[in-house]
Amino acid sequence: MTSARITPDFSLETATGRQRVAGVDEVGRGPLAGPVTAAAVILDPARIPPGIDDSKRLSEAARTRLAALIRDSAVAWAVAHASVQEIDALNILEASHLAMRRALEALHPAAEHALIDGNRLPKGLTIPAETIVKGDARSLSIGAASILAKVERDAIMRELSLANPGYGWEKNAGYPSAQHRAALRDLGVTPHHRRSFAPVRKILCEEH
C-alpha cells in the first residue's frame, strides 16, 4: 500500500496567525557551476494560482507558466543569489542561507513571519521564522518560492551556457551530469565553476 501524495496547502501560513507570511526556498546547492538562488514569496490567500507545487514535480512549461502567475498575484516576491565566489568562501550551506536572507530582505512590504524550507534556520533573520522539512511539497508559499528560484536560476544557466558551450548547462543547469563531468575534463574549469566542490577541485589539482 502506497502512502498518499502530499500536496501543498495554506495551513502552515494560517497557523502563524500573521498576515504577511513568506515562504522561502533555494535551488542550486548541488551543481558544480553557477550561483545558488533563493526566492521569498508572500502569497495573497485570495489570489493563489492553482497548481503550485514543489518545483521538482512540475514540467519546465508548468514552472514557467506558474512563475508568471505568482509574480502577478503575490503580495510580494523577491529572488536573490549567492555567487560562486561566495559559495567558495563560505561553503554551500552558508551561501544558501545568505541568498535566503537577501531574498527575505528584498520583500516589500516586508514579511512578518517566514517559513523556511529545510531543517536549518539561516542566521541573522530579523523576523520570526520556522523551518519546514519538505516545505516545498507542504506549503503553497514555499512551493511558490521554489518555482521562482528554479525558473530564475535555470535562465541564468542558459545564459551562461551561451558563452561557455560544451558543458550542457542549458540542459543540466550546472549539475554534475555525464556531459558536464566530461566537459570539465576536456575543456577545463571556467570562472563559473565552484572551486570548493570536489570534482572541480580535482581537475584543478591535476592541472598543476
pTM of the model: 0.95
Cα–Cα distance measured from residue 88 to residue 8, given in angstroms and rounded to the nearest whole number: 34
pLDDT at 1 over 50: no
All three cell numbers of 191:
570562472
Identity of the amino acid at 59: S
Cα–Cα distance measured from residue 168 to residue 4, given in angstroms and rounded to the nearest whole number: 36
Q: In this structure, which topology does domain 11-157 adopt according to CATH?
A: Nucleotidyltransferase; domain 5 (3.30.420)
Cα–Cα distance measured from residue 45 to residue 36, given in angstroms and rounded to the nearest whole number: 28
Cα–Cα distance measured from residue 13 to residue 16, given in angstroms and rounded to the nearest whole number: 6
pLDDT at 4 over 70: no
At 93-122, the pLDDT tens digits run 999 999 999 999 999 999 999 999 999 999
At 165-194, the pLDDT tens digits run 999 999 999 999 999 999 999 999 999 999
Contact in structure between 166 and 62 (CB atoms under 8 Å) = no
At 40-97, the pLDDT tens digits run 999 999 999 999 999 999 999 999 999 999 999 999 999 999 999 999 999 999 999 9
Q: Give the β-pairing of 21-27 and 113-117.
A: parallel
Specify the pLDDT at position 3. 53
At 5-34, the pLDDT tens digits run 789 999 999 999 999 999 999 999 999 999
All three cell numbers of 61:
512549461
Contact in structure between 109 and 75 (CB atoms under 8 Å) = yes
At 31, give phi and psi (nearest 5°): -65, 160
Cα–Cα distance measured from residue 202 to residue 185, given in angstroms and rounded to the nearest whole number: 10
b/e per residue, 20-48, with b = 16+ CB within 10 A? bbbbbbbbbeebbbbbbbbbbbbbeeeeb
Specify the pLDDT at position 206. 79
pLDDT at 141 over 60: yes
Higher pLDDT, 94 or 208: 94
